[in-house]
Structure formats: C-alpha cells, structure tokens
C-alpha cells in the first residue's frame, strides 16, 4: 500500500485504535510494550525517539520509566493519530505526571526524520515499521539519528513457528480480527483486513535481523513473545 493510502487508513481508525488494540490483543499489547522498554535498557536520563508512534503508547511506556532529565519524542506522519496521543498528555490521570512533562509529539516521516545524526540514545518503533514504504531505508534513518552505541528497538507482529498454534492463530488473525475490528471501527475500507496482509508480507525474525545488520547494527537480538505472535528486535549502532 502506498504512503497516502496508509495515512488515510490510520486516519480513519484513529479514534478507535487504542481500544481495538487492547481488545484484539487480549490486553497483551501493553505487556509487549513494557517488555520492549525493558530490553532496550532505557535509563532515567535517556533521550528516546519513537517513530511511527501512532497514538503514542510506546512513547509513553518509555516515558513512564524516565527521570526528570530524560525525554521522549513520538513522531508520526498521521496527524489524526498524533492528535489522540497529544490528548493523552492532557487528560491521562493514570500515568505519572512526569510522563506528560517529558513527552512531545511531532509530525514527521520516518524516511526523512528532521533530526541531526547521533541525537537519541534509543530509537524505537512499535507495530509501525511494516507500514513504512521502504523497510531498509526506514531502519537506516532510525540508525542515523541514534548515538554511537545507541539502541534500535523494533516491536512487531511476526508469524508463530509452532505449526499447530500457527493454524489456530491464522484463523483468528485472518477471519475474526478483521471482522471485529472493521465492525467496531465502522470502517468500510477493510482497515483491519490490511493488518494480517501486512504481517504475512513482513520479514520473519531472522530476515529482519539480517536487515538490521545491513543497516549498520550489531549485537542484534530478538525475543519472541506470546507463542511467537510478536517479536522484539534490539540492535546497537556501531560505536565508530
């Protein structure tokens, strides 16, 4: 799907996005984000950029672990999704007050990030890198803005390796999830049918690791979660 189509799709479901993520993942989405924060070794003083941030849930998960000297920026090219994220900073009383003070959202394309080289300690993306028009270019751009020795963290859906569970999961993923998602969001363009299609076309864990290594990352590790339906990849930018 072209970039304009992706933007239109997510603009249409922005208001329902968080609710449906939680519902359709059986509330595991928050667990996956917290695990991503953990394995990327965020520190209280870290500078974090979360690209394809959507409504900002991963950005805020990082922010919840930060100190007063840390900062988080969430970037996305979909204004409607960012608007939902900005509203959370104003009214989400369930989060620490500091999370709202050290987090900012801005409009930016992941393929052309408006930041200098070697700026952020951690550059993350949660469930968004498969929507970038050029996967390798997107990861290279994330790597460019990371400091030397900084970490790139990618949380993304993948395909389970156990054949029995994979068959059951695909039934849910291809049939139940699109039906429920499209009904609740009242989307007529089959937005939630796009999700399984994009996941099936996305590189598996080993292939994504290879892409990250081609982009200049070292010590790339990946962690399968929840029977292998998602994976967290973490790599380091070369120190020199």
Within-domain flag for 197: no
Higher pLDDT, 115 or 166: 115
Min mean pLDDT across 70-74, 146-150, 195-199, 209-213 is at: 195-199
> Residue 117's domain spans which residues?
3-156+204-237
Within-domain flag for 49: yes
- pLDDT band of residue 99 (cuts 50, 70, 90) is low
Within-domain flag for 227: yes
At 166-219, the pLDDT tens digits run: 999 889 888 888 888 788 777 766 777 887 888 889 999 999 999 999 999 999
Higher pLDDT, 111 or 193: 111
CA dihedral 115, 111, 55, 230 (to 10 degrees): -120
Task: Please report, for the domain that includes residue 18, its CATH number.
Answer: 3.40.50.150
d(CA 14, CA 20): 10
Within-domain flag for 112: yes
Within-domain flag for 179: no
Q: Give me the pLDDT at residue 147, please.
A: 98
Within-domain flag for 171: no
Within-domain flag for 184: no
At 15-61, the pLDDT tens digits run: 888 888 888 788 899 999 999 999 999 999 999 999 999 999 999 99
Q: Give me the pLDDT at residue 238, please.
A: 94
* Among candidate residues 50, 57, 21, 70, the one with its CA nearest the CA of residue 192: 21
Res. 97: pLDDT tops 70: no
Within-domain flag for 24: yes
**pTM flag (> 0.85):** yes
Q: Give me the pLDDT at residue 188, please.
A: 67
Are 211 and 139 in contact by the 8 Å Cβ rule? The answer is yes
Whole-number average pLDDT of the chain:
90
Res. 107: pLDDT tops 60: yes
Q: Domains in the chain: how many in total?
A: 1
Q: What is the largest CA-CA distance in the chain?
A: 51
């Amino acid at each position: 799907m072209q970039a304009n189509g992706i933007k239109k799709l997510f603009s249409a479901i922005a208001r329902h996005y968080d609710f449906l993520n939680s519902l359709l993942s059986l509330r595991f989405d928050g667990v996956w984000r917290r695990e991503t924060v953990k394995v990327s070794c965020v520190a209280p003083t870290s500078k974090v950029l979360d690209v394809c941030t959507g409504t900002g849930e991963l950005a805020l998960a990082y922010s919840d672990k930060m100190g007063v000297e840390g900062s988080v920026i969430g970037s996305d090219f979909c204004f409607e999704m960012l608007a939902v994220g900005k509203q959370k900073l104003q009214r989400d009383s369930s989060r620490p007050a500091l999370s709202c003070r050290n987090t900012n959202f801005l409009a930016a394309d992941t393929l052309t990030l408006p930041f200098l080289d070697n700026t952020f300690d951690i550059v993350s993306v949660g469930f968004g890198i498969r929507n970038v028009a050029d996967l390798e270019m997107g990861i290279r751009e994330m790597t460019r803005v990371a400091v030397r020795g900084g970490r790139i963290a990618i949380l993304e859906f993948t395909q389970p390796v156990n054949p029995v569970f994979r068959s059951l999961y695909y039934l849910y993923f291809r049939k139940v999830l699109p039906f429920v998602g499209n009904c609740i969001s009242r989307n007529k363009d089959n937005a939630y049918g796009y999700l399984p299609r994009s996941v099936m076309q996305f590189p598996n864990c080993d292939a994504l690791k290879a892409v990250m290594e081609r982009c200049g990352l070292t010590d790339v590790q990946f962690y399968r979660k929840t029977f292998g339906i998602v994976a967290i990849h973490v790599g380091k930018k070369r120190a020199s």
